[in-house]
Structure 1
Amino acid sequence: METLFLSCLALGILFAIVSVIFGDWLSQAMEGALDFLSLEGPAFLSPMTLFGGITAFGGAGLMLTRYTSLGEWIVVLLAVLIAIALGAAVFFLYVRPMENSENSIAFTLQSLAGTLGEVTIPIPATGYGEVMIQAGAGVTNQIAASFDQQPISGDAKVVVVEVKDSVLYVSEVNLSI
């Protein structure tokens, strides 16, 4: 039984080392060949969770065998329970939060409606100027026209009222309260 525990522990350690050192390279080389592991299955069966549980099973079983006088089946049962607990911890404390942490810096012009900005190039009553707006993870400068057909001076605070034909139609806002 000790051989099983040692093998599971070694497999988990090897997986961790290979993942850290060669993870990105292997992922590109295999071009999604192992994507079936995460498709249409429960999220807790991710490779990180499975190998974390296998490693915990091996390590717990090895330690319980060497440092306690418990029977073989009790050791296996306790090792399985410890593996399930640590696998769940890996899933809930690492895998699931990381799935939800992916952010995109992309934005669409339509998503800018309702956002505040600042005029960088004055906007004439019937022409075009430029506004700087917080979008995604940074700022963007976009072509703007006056929604109210009123001139808007540089450095004025504006709100995007609508977006038509890749032009932001803005109105001046007074933010002093």
Structure 2
Amino acid sequence: METLFWSCLAGGILFAAVSVLLGDLVSHALDGLLDFMSVDFLKPMVIASAVTVFGGAGILLAHYTDWSGFVVVLLSVVIAVVISVLVYFFYVKPMDNSENSTGYSIRELSGRIGEVTIPIPETGYGEVMIRLGAGNTLHIASSLERHQLSAGTRVVVVDVQDGVLRVTNLDERRGDVV
């Protein structure tokens, strides 16, 4: 029985080391091969922690108690499940929720402030740069009121039609409001 516990402990530690050092390489090599086993709770981190804790708890219980092998295995399984649940809810799940995406929908740009980079003629198209997150994005734009907008003009996106931002001069709008 002690061999099983030592094997689980060593295997879990080895899995953790390999995951940290070669995780991306292994992930690309398997390339979705194990996606059919994809259950939200069965993450590699959770499974590895369960196996490692099972081995470690088994070794400690077998060495420091006089309990029978069945009780030691049963208690080791319970401890492993409890620790795995804690790892999932206090580490894995919060990390999944904290991932940031750089993706956005062009519809989300309405109301955003930008700057004209390529002049927008009265009846035509130019280009507007809008700051999103830590970077800038460039989009085709046209003037909503059919006014010429020169490069460097601050504009606000009023609407998006057919992938084209419909913008108006932000500085003129501020003058109208005051």
- The TM-score range, normalised by the shorter chain, is 0.7 to 0.9
Distance 1:17 1:143 in 2: 48
- Does the 8 A contact of 1:104 with 1:136 survive in 2? no
Q: Is residue 107 from structure 1 mapped to residue 104 from structure 2 by the alignment? A: yes
Q: Is residue 97 from structure 1 mapped to residue 94 from structure 2 by the alignment? A: yes
Q: Which residue of 1 aligns with 2:67?
A: 71
Q: Which residue of 2 aligns with 1:60?
A: 57
Shift of residue 109 of structure 1? 3.1
Q: Which residue of 2 aligns with 1:141?
A: 138
C-alpha offsets along residues 88-114 of structure 1, whole Å, 9 cap, x if unaligned? Answer: 122123322333344332334333233
What is the TM-score of this pair, normalised by structure 2?
A: 0.79
Q: Which residue of 2 aligns with 1:158?
A: 155
Aligned-partner residue type, residue 58 of structure 1: G
SS in 2 for 1:98: helix
What is the TM-score of this pair, normalised by structure 1?
A: 0.79
Shift of residue 141 of structure 1? 2.2
Note the aligned Cα RMSD (angstroms): 2.6
Taking structure 1 as reference, are residues 175 and 91 closer, same or farther at Cα in structure 2, changes over 3 Å only?
farther
Structure 2 stretches lacking a partner, 5+ long: none
Shift of residue 137 of structure 1? 4.6
Taking structure 1 as reference, are residues 11 and 175 closer, same or farther at Cα in structure 2, changes over 3 Å only?
farther
Q: Which residue of 2 aligns with 1:8?
A: 8
Correspondence for 2:113 among 113, 116, 124: 116
Q: Which residue of 2 aligns with 1:85?
A: 82
Shift of residue 8 of structure 1? 1.2
Shift of residue 74 of structure 1? 4.1
Q: Paired residues, what number?
A: 173
